[in-house]
Structure 1
Amino acid sequence: MSLSDRNVLVTGGAGFIGSHLTERLLADGASVTVVDNLSNGDRGRVPDDAGFLEADLTEPDALEGHLDDVDLVFHLAASKHVDTDRPHGQFDDNTRMTRNILEAMADAGITEIAYTSSSTVYGEAPRPTPEDYAPLEPISAYGASKLADEGLLSARAHSHDLSVWNFRFANVVGPRLRGAVIPDFIEKLRDDPETLTILGDGRQEKSYLYIEDCLDAMCHVVENADGAMNTYNLGTRTTTSVDRIAAIVADELDLEPAFEYTGGDRGWTGDVPKMRLSIEKLAALGWEPRRSSDEAVRQATRKIIEELR
C-alpha cells in the first residue's frame, strides 16, 4: 500500500513525533488533517498545507463530521508522562481516546489505523525483547494504557475487518523533543555548567531511535505489512546509557561538568532501567535503522541545542 494520495488523519499531530509525521506524509503526497488538543502540542508545528482541528479526543463526539473523506488514521495522541500523579486518570484518558476513535472510524466506514504503542508494554523484560515475548507486565499506568489500547485494536482487527499497524517504540529523539533526558540535560547545563544532576545512578540503558529513522520505519511497515494486526518493534540494535547521554550533551556544549546522582537504579516511578527491543521482525520486512543509538542521541543533541539558543 502506498501512502501517497491518501487522506490521512493524524491525532496528536502538533506534538513531537506527530508534527514530523505530518510533514513526512505531506512530502509523500498524502493529504493530512491534524487533530490535537494542544495540551502538549504546538499549533505552530502544524504545516500550513495540513488541515487542523483543535479537539479533545476523550469526548465521544470530538470527530463527528470530520472523518468523511479520511482513508487512514495515525493515532499518536496520548497522555505520555510515565511518572504521573494521576495514574488512573491517565489510563482512563488514553483508553477513552482510542475507544472513541475506533467508534468514530466504524461510523465513518474507515478500516485502517496505525497506532503508536510503546516499549513500556513489556515491563522489565529480557533483552533484546521480541514482539511475541510474554507475559506482558507493564510497570506504569502509561504502559498499562498502551497495552489496553493494543487489546482494543486487536479485538477490532480480528472481529470487524480492521487493519492495524501497531508500533512499539524505543525512545524516539530529534528536533522538537521536549520533556525528555536530552533537552533536560541541555537546560540544566546552561543553568549550571559546572554540575549536572542525573536521576538514578546513570546506568539506565536504553535504545534511542532518531526521528527520521522512526518515520521511515513507520511508513515502511504500513506500506509492506498486510495482516490484520501488524505489531512491530521500532528501535535500534544498540543502546545508550544515561551517563553516556550526559557525556554526549556535555561534549556538544563543550563543557566538563561533574556528575551528581539522585541514586537508585531508575529515574522515576515506572521507569524501566534497561530496554532494548528486538528488531528482527522489522528487518525481515526489509528495514534497518541508519543510525546507532549513540548516533541518534548525538544528532538529536545538536538539533535541540540549536533550537534552544
Structure 2
Amino acid sequence: MELTGKRILVTGGAGLIGSELAGALADENHVLVVDDFSNSSDADLPDGVEFVEGDLTDESVVADVVTEDLDAVFHLAAADKYVNSAEPRRQFEANHELTYNLLERMAEVGVDHFLFTSSSTVYGEAPRPTPEDYAPLEPISIYGATKLSEESLLSVYAHSHDFTVWNFRFANIVGDRFGAGVVPDFVEKLDENGETLTILGNGRQEKSYMHVSECVEAMCHVVEHATGSMNTFNLGTRTTTSVNTIADIVADEMGVDPDYEYTGGDRGWTGDVPKMRLSIEKLAALGYEPDLSSDESVRRAARDLVASLD
C-alpha cells in the first residue's frame, strides 16, 4: 500500500512507537490518533494529527474512530507488558478485546488493511537467530501469550475476510522517551543515585535493541512493499546487547561510574526471555536493513534520554 494520500487510524499514537509512526505518516497522509494515555501523555502527541481520546475496549469509541472512509488501521495500542504484569488476566483480556473490537468493526464498515505490532515474546525461548517460520510458538509470558492470541485473530481475518495484514514481531525498541524498559530505567536510577545501580537478574541477559526511528522506517517499508494477505516480519538488528553493556553505556553517557548490584538469577522477571535475537533475513530480502547496531541503538537512546534530563 502506498503511504501517500491515505486516511489512517493509529491506535496508541501517543506511545513511543505510535507517536513516531503517526508523525512520520502525517507528512503525506491524514492521520487520526486514538489513545487513552494509560501508557503515555498528551505531551507526546505528534504535530499534524487529528486526535480522539478513548479506550478501545469500549465498542462505542471503536465505532466513532473506525469509519468507512479509513484506508487502514495501524494498531499499536496495548496494555503494557511491564505496567500491567501484576494483573495478567486483565492484560490478556484487554489486549485481546482491543484487537477483536477493531477487526470486527473494520469488517462491518469495509476497511480491510491492518497493521499490528506483535512481539518477539511469541517465540518463547527459541534458537537464535529466530526466523518468522520458527515453530512451535511457545511464549513463556502472559504478554507473549496475548500477542500470539491476537496474531491468531489476524490470521482469521486475513484468510477468511480478505484483509491485508502486516504483523510485526519486535525486538526491544528504544528511543528518546521515558517509560518502561531497561534503558530509561537505568537513566532514571543513575540520575537519582550515580554511585550504585541495581540490575535485575545477573546482567548477562542479552537481546537485540532497535532504535524507534529505524523501527518506523522498517514498518513503512514493509507496508509499501509486502503485498500478501498475512505478512509477518521480524524487526530488529543483527546484533545483541547485554544488560551489563547497557548499564556501561548509560553510565558512560551520564559521566558516572556506579557499582552494580544484582537481584540474581538469569531472568529479570517471571516470563523474561534471557537471550533473544531475531532473524531479519526476510526484512533484508524485501530491501530494508537497519543502519544502527544494537549497541548503537542503545547509545543513541541513552544519549537522548540523558539530554532530556537537563
TM-score category, normalised to shorter length: over 0.9
* TM-superposed deviation, 1:109: 0.6
8 Å contact kept, 1:21–1:215: yes
The answer to whether residue 220 in structure 2 is matched with residue 208 in structure 1 is no
How many residue pairs align between the two structures? 308
**Deviation string, structure 1 residues 269-293 (Cα, Å, up to 9, x no partner):** 1111000000001111111001000
Aligned match of 1:71: 71
* TM-superposed deviation, 1:227: 0.3
Aligned match of 1:114: 115
Q: More displaced, 147-156 or 82-91? A: 82-91
Aligned match of 1:15: 15
Aligned match of 1:288: 289
* TM-superposed deviation, 1:260: 0.9
**Deviation string, structure 1 residues 184-227 (Cα, Å, up to 9, x no partner):** 11111121111111000000000000011101100000000000
Letter of the structure 2 residue corresponding to residue 151 of structure 1: S
Aligned match of 2:252: 251
Helix, strand or coil: the match of 1:40?
coil
* TM-superposed deviation, 1:65: 3.5
Aligned match of 2:124: 123
Whole-Å separation in 2 of the counterparts to 1:65 and 1:45: 22
Aligned match of 2:45: 46
Helix, strand or coil: the match of 1:130?
coil
| RMSD, aligned CA | 1.0
8 Å contact kept, 2:23–2:47: no
Whole-Å separation in 1 of the counterparts to 2:64 and 2:147: 27
Whole-Å separation in 1 of the counterparts to 2:163 and 2:293: 34
Helix, strand or coil: the match of 1:166?
strand
Letter of the structure 2 residue corresponding to residue 65 of structure 1: D
Q: How does 1:24-39 map to 2 (within 5 A)?
A: 24-27=24-27, 29-39=28-38
Whole-Å separation in 2 of the counterparts to 1:78 and 1:298: 26
Helix, strand or coil: the match of 1:196?
strand
* TM-superposed deviation, 1:47: 2.9
Whole-Å separation in 2 of the counterparts to 1:15 and 1:295: 22
Whole-Å separation in 2 of the counterparts to 1:219 and 1:125: 27
Aligned match of 2:55: 56
Letter of the structure 1 residue corresponding to residue 10 of structure 2: V
Indicate how the Cα distance of structure 1 residues 65 and 254 shifts in structure 2: closer, same or farther if over 3 A, else same.
closer
* TM-superposed deviation, 1:48: 4.0
8 Å contact kept, 1:13–1:41: no
8 Å contact kept, 1:55–1:62: yes
* TM-superposed deviation, 1:177: 4.0
Aligned match of 1:176: 177
Q: More displaced, 163-172 or 57-66? A: 57-66
- If the length of structure 1 is used for normalisation, what is the TM-score? 0.98
**Deviation string, structure 1 residues 51-108 (Cα, Å, up to 9, x no partner):** 1111111112222133232101100000122471111111100000000000111111
* TM-superposed deviation, 1:5: 0.7
Whole-Å separation in 2 of the counterparts to 1:73 and 1:274: 32
Aligned match of 1:271: 272
Whole-Å separation in 2 of the counterparts to 1:190 and 1:301: 12
* TM-superposed deviation, 1:43: 1.2
Q: More displaced, 282-291 or 55-64? A: 55-64
Unmatched runs of 5 consecutive residues or more in structure 2 = none
Letter of the structure 1 residue corresponding to residue 269 of structure 2: W
Letter of the structure 1 residue corresponding to residue 170 of structure 2: F
Helix, strand or coil: the match of 1:209?
strand
Unmatched runs of 5 consecutive residues or more in structure 1 = none
8 Å contact kept, 1:157–1:229: yes
Letter of the structure 2 residue corresponding to residue 93 of structure 1: A
Whole-Å separation in 1 of the counterparts to 2:47 and 2:253: 33
The answer to whether residue 3 in structure 2 is matched with residue 3 in structure 1 is yes
Whole-Å separation in 2 of the counterparts to 1:10 and 1:65: 14
Q: How does 1:105-254 map to 2 (within 5 A)?
A: 105-254=106-255
Moved over 4 A (4+): none
Helix, strand or coil: the match of 1:57?
coil
8 Å contact kept, 1:113–1:163: yes
Whole-Å separation in 2 of the counterparts to 1:173 and 1:251: 17
* TM-superposed deviation, 1:41: 1.8
8 Å contact kept, 1:94–1:145: yes
8 Å contact kept, 1:249–1:298: yes
Whole-Å separation in 1 of the counterparts to 2:29 and 2:165: 19
